[in-house]
Structure 1
């Protein structure tokens, strides 16, 4: 059974999926979660606090999926194909992940200016802590670097820069599907496309 906090976050995500965030009322989120409005304020403090938690949860869930994909069976091509497929699926099923990966926030989504980043999103030294959520370029770079670290383990000497380029290509192919969605039910087409590219990339041996 979900905790009150998780129920509230689920209710908030359902609300923002259906209507603009500025029109979402705290009392409606609390009612949908089956708790009192006071419980909501006790958990998050304010609507901005709820927004921060909502975006952070979406980001962490996406990164957890990346870890699972990179830990799947197979070689470099298989792991990157799984990561790309997960990225496309995540952007299709969660509007906040789509915002994080594409920068397409608009005024419909909660994107508080003072969003505090979790440790999963280390803040670059040149950017202030209140600069908002990670930019798509920062997030892509973090996922790319994580992919390189995982794929580099136990491999023979090679060119790390070439592996980084291969990982970034796979991620950018996935993001192209996020920006220009494939027809419903064909998200998996990105996986063979990534496998095809990886097989022909330098230093992409399993």
Structure 2
């Protein structure tokens, strides 16, 4: 609850001003906690940004999970719809907008590129569990392969969104659905 309140306060501040203009004192005041509580919970400004980015990665997993449940038997539609809603929502997120607009924010850019290990690991683990429990029912090894590749690609679209005339979710659906189809076909042969 505390982390959620702090991250929500950060989001509200990002709706008002750029990441570079927000201090930990601002976030603490917005969340109704002390600055020391922020340091205890996140360690630093970078830790706060990382926690926020992990929440965005959780959104990716949530979107794919919802799409899988709504498109049983259709991997291509599941992936396409899950990624389409994730890309739409992440493009509107104020931290992502702060990253893409105005002056370069190397700390944010590093979070989703050079220092993306924790973000990728977290989202991969969650998505792997989702696809194991979904109608696809991948094995742990298959789920890890699928989730790791999908997460890495989805996150790479954040700092470099595709052109408006390029349907990245449909393209990724076409790339990943044959993997799912092959796994399902192999399972039927057993």
Going from structure 1 to structure 2, the CA distance change for 1:151 and 1:95 (only over 3 Å counts) comes to farther
Residue 7 in structure 1 maps to residue 8 in structure 2: no
Q: Partner of 1:120 in structure 2?
A: 122
Going from structure 1 to structure 2, the CA distance change for 1:64 and 1:203 (only over 3 Å counts) comes to closer
Separation in 2 of the partners of 1:117 and 1:10? 21
Q: Partner of 1:140 in structure 2?
A: none
Q: Partner of 1:94 in structure 2?
A: 93
Consecutive unaligned residues of structure 1, counting only runs of 5 or more, are 123-142, 155-163, 183-189
Separation in 2 of the partners of 1:50 and 1:151? 35
Separation in 1 of the partners of 2:46 and 2:178? 46
Separation in 2 of the partners of 1:115 and 1:204? 26
Write the deviation string for residues 135-172 of structure 1: whole angstroms up to 9, x where unpaired. xxxxxxxx8xx87x967659xxxxxxxxx9xxx8xx99
Going from structure 1 to structure 2, the CA distance change for 1:121 and 1:16 (only over 3 Å counts) comes to same
Q: Partner of 1:125 in structure 2?
A: none
- Conserved in 1, the CA contact under 8 Å of 2:64 and 2:78? no
- Displacement of 1:36 in angstroms is 1.6
**TM-score normalised per structure 2:** 0.56
- Number of aligned pairs? 156
Write the deviation string for residues 62-114 of structure 1: whole angstroms up to 9, x where unpaired. 22221221222344254234224313322233245679xxx958328734565
Separation in 1 of the partners of 2:93 and 2:14? 10
Separation in 1 of the partners of 2:45 and 2:179? 48
Residue 19 in structure 1 maps to residue 17 in structure 2: yes
- Conserved in 2, the CA contact under 8 Å of 1:19 and 1:108? no
- Displacement of 1:203 in angstroms is 10
- SS of 1:14's equivalent? helix
Residue 72 in structure 1 maps to residue 70 in structure 2: yes
For residues 1-206 of structure 1, what are the structure 2 equivalents within 5 Å?
A: 3-76=1-74, 77-96=76-95, 104=100, 106-107=104-105, 110=108, 111-112=110-111, 114=115, 116-118=117-119, 119-121=121-123, 179-180=162-163, 194=170
Q: Indicate the structure with greater helix content.
A: 2
Consecutive unaligned residues of structure 2, counting only runs of 5 or more, are 139-145, 182-190
- Displacement of 1:23 in angstroms is 1.9
- Conserved in 2, the CA contact under 8 Å of 1:70 and 1:150? yes
Taking only aligned residues, the RMSD between alpha carbons, in angstroms, comes to 4.7
Separation in 2 of the partners of 1:36 and 1:24? 15
